[in-house]
Amino acid sequence: MPCRVLIVDDHPGFRAQARALLAAAGYEVVGEAADGESGVRVARDLSPDVVLLDVQLPDISGFEVVRQVHSEPSPPAIVLISSRDAADYGGRIRRCGARGFISKADLSASALTAVLGTGCPR
């Protein structure tokens, strides 16, 4: 059974690119959201295994999305993404409860698998 992924990013072109890349690697992209509030709602509705989540969203930060999603029972693994480097966020990535971070420039199925570990997190 493929790992189910939700992509939350405000750039439609990046969402399409990430969807194609992950689908080609055997992930099942079950949904997309363009902002944080929608991302929280769609994560609740679809119960994905993984949320690929942009840190910088137009309404609320990815860190706030992590907090809200993790307040739900059986939350998905969350992997933060950004066009900025992880160092730009200091210790916030580690402290927020996300599984890890991948730079958008480095996004690949193998990078996602490396962050998630073996197998799907659920």
Whether the pLDDT of residue 122 is over 70: the answer is no
Statement: the pTM of the whole predicted model exceeds 0.85: yes
| Edge-to-edge strand list for the sheet holding 100-103 | 28-33, 4-8, 50-54, 77-82, 100-103
What does the pLDDT look like over 48-78, one tens digit per residue? Answer: 999 999 999 999 999 999 999 999 999 999 9
| pLDDT band (50, 70, 90) for residue 117 | confident
What does the pLDDT look like over 6-51, one tens digit per residue? Answer: 999 999 999 999 999 999 999 999 999 999 999 999 999 999 999 9
Query: What DSSP element (H or E) covers 114?
Result: helix 109-116
Fold of 4-115: Rossmann fold (3.40.50)
